[in-house]
A and B are shown apart, each in its own frame.
Chain A
Amino acid sequence: MRYLNIASPVEDYELVRGCLREDRKYQEAIFQRYAGKLMVVSLRYARHRMEAEDILQDAFIRIFDHIDQFQGKGSLEGWMRRIVVNTALKNIDKKSFSSEIIGLDNTPEDNPGALPSVFPQLHEEELLQLIQQLPDGYRIVFNMYAIEGYSHAEISDLLGIQESTSRSQLVKARKMLQTQILKIQKVAV
């Protein structure tokens, strides 16, 4: 746990000021404070861990290069999260959003948002794996809508896709996640 649980009285504002001076000590402090959380963001958008590490590395370089553009209007963490998401979206192929999963439409949809009973017992790593197993389009839209809190209109703007596409990708992502969780439940029983 090298980078986690840093007990430091230094405020984010001070860290940003230090980074503005290109002070390596402050840059490392920001990295230590947020790398863990941002790694998870990166893992949610990536297909696998190696891709997530590349995204996180690019994102931190962009963060330090453009720290002068952080105007302090929101939280530093929120600003950094957006950079990680934007970095991840940079290399997304639009074709990912038109792919269909054969057989997905045959899954039961009586209660698409229903929570399988096994869900509360699932570990965070397992949830991450479930997300990573989603096809690119599903994974991106599910992350942006369900976790980041973007609206379909915003997703449509950011990804350059139709709002209806975003909606359908979300529905399919949920279905697929439920199917996978049900499979885990059956194995567990």
Chain B
Amino acid sequence: MNPKSPLDELFRRKLANFEMLPPDTLWENIQLERSKQQKTALKWWSPWAISAAVLLTSALLYQQFNKPLDAINRDIPNSKSNLSYLENQHQHHLPSKESINKIIIPISRKKNDKKRMNQTSVPQTSAMEEIFTPLQIMPDPVQETSEIKTEVKSSFSSFSALSGIHITLPHELSLYSEYLPVPFKKKLWFAKIDFLLSQDVIHNTLISKSATFEEYAALRNKHEDLNRSNSFMIRMGISTIKGWGLRSGIQYSRMRQTFSRQMPDASNTITRNTFETIDIPLILTKEQMVGKLRIGLSAGTYLNMTFNQKGSFYSPTGSLIEFTSSKPGSYPAFKNRLGASLYNGLTLSYPIGNSLEFMAEPYIRTRIPSISADDYVLDQKIWYGGIFIGIRKQIGKGFYLP
């Protein structure tokens, strides 16, 4: 205790709990000053900074997540390197003069082979000839891959071997956390959990890797579209009182594709395909209160954990090719893991109860790499758009980071 004189003590006693009114305008001035601060809190360069950070993070993650493919291929004994394998495949699918002369097209060669027609479910020969006349000079991937079955298998085994990487993913994620911008240290953080469902619209584009398959790509673009998808996501997030937050979790999406092809003989062939993905979102958000409504911008990357496919599509020659990933011997038209995709969303949430908010998050997302296998003749790019609807729950009362 400080030695106090009676003078000090009496000043302290008289003034310690004494109150005097501030002017009425003071509270209004405080509100006015704070609203000015909040308006300028989101600087003009913030969206650019967020975008730059997201792009940088995505590039780093994409680069890092694609590394193991080469590493694994190198580790597989007696298998060709990924690069030389792809080169061979690419050359293989570009028709040389010899290969065109040698092409065996089932439709033209086995016109009267009814047994085969039944087995392969290929429509009537005359119909197929009309549809696929321009495509007849193209090599049939199914026919041609019979020569290199061993190599295709090695490609499959290399993708399958990638599944082993999944186990190390949480560790890898922790390594990337240092790249994520965290603007505040030792501040109060809030933990929140989101349960979200969405109905998505998907746009699917097939692009030929060489001029030979441009018509084939155009034909499939005309008849195919991944037009429906549903997603379910559980997402945990931490955010500061200033509205900066990081969110991550797991998202399951199921895309359904139904397309029909009208044959010249008026018969319809309907194909139903299903694609399933499991992704881990890594999202940076900046939120701002507008009255009771919380509005936020979200941007980030999705890391694909697994991609399963079930169904079939038509080859350039019109034969039906099954690509079901779980079925041995199916044609490996797709990758088993899709790398990174970019995500942008607008988060809107409104309090509906104790620590509970109703959420809606319109979003767009694009897969950066093609979803088709590297050695397939077409690149397949996907865009998603939709709206997540769900509930956000705050966990606890907040916490301090060490």
Binding site for B on A (CB under 8 A): 1-4, 17, 20, 22, 24, 28, 31, 35-37, 39-40, 43-44, 53, 56-57, 60-61, 64-65, 67-69, 71, 112-115, 119-120, 122, 124-125, 127-128, 131, 142, 145-147, 149-151, 174, 177-178
Contacts and interface: CB of A to CB of B under 8 A. Distances in A.
Contacts of B34: 61, 64-65
Nearest to A131: B11
B27 interface: yes
A1 B22 CA distance: 10
B6 A61 contact: no
Nearest to B18: A124
Nearest to B38: A22
B102 interface: no
Contacts of B29: 57
Given A1-B21, A22-B289, A149-B2, A177 B7 contact: yes
A174 B26 contact: no
Interface string B10-30: 111011111111111011011
B153 to A, nearest CB: 58
A44 B23 contact: no
A78 B181 CA distance: 34
Given A1-B21, A44-B15, A127-B15, 10 more contacts: A3-B22, A4-B19, A53-B22, A56-B26, A57-B33, A64-B30, A67-B241, A71-B400, A147-B15, A174-B7
B6 A35 contact: no
Contacts of A20: 188, 241, 398
From A2, A39, A67, A68, residue with most partner B Cβ within 10 Å:
A68
20 contacts: A4-B21, A22-B289, A35-B22, A35-B27, A36-B21, A53-B22, A60-B30, A64-B34, A68-B187, A69-B187, A113-B5, A113-B8, A115-B10, A119-B10, A124-B15, A127-B15, A128-B18, A128-B20, A145-B8, A174-B8
Contact of B16 (A112, A114, A131, A147): A147
Contacts of B18: 37, 40, 124, 128
B31 A24 contact: yes
A156 B4 CA distance: 18
B7 A40 contact: no
Given A68-B241, A115-B7, A177-B7, A57 B188 contact: no
A65 B19 contact: no
A3 B187 CA distance: 31
B401 to A, nearest CB: 12
Q: Interface residues of A: mostly helix, strand, loop or mixed?
A: helix
Contacts of A68: 187-188, 240-241, 398
A119 B6 CA distance: 10
B37 interface: yes
B397 interface: yes
Interface in B174-211: 187-188
B396 to A, nearest CB: 12
A128 B15 contact: yes
A151 B240 CA distance: 36
A146 B4 contact: yes
A177 B23 CA distance: 28
Interface in B119-137: none
Contacts of A37: 17-19
Contacts of B17: 37
Given A146-B4, A177-B7, A36 B30 contact: no
A112 B5 contact: yes
Interface in B226-252: 240-241
Contacts of B20: 36, 39-40, 43, 125, 128
Contacts of A124: 14-15, 18
B19 A36 contact: yes
Given A24-B31, A56-B26, A146 B14 contact: no
B241 A40 contact: no
Contacts of A69: 187-188
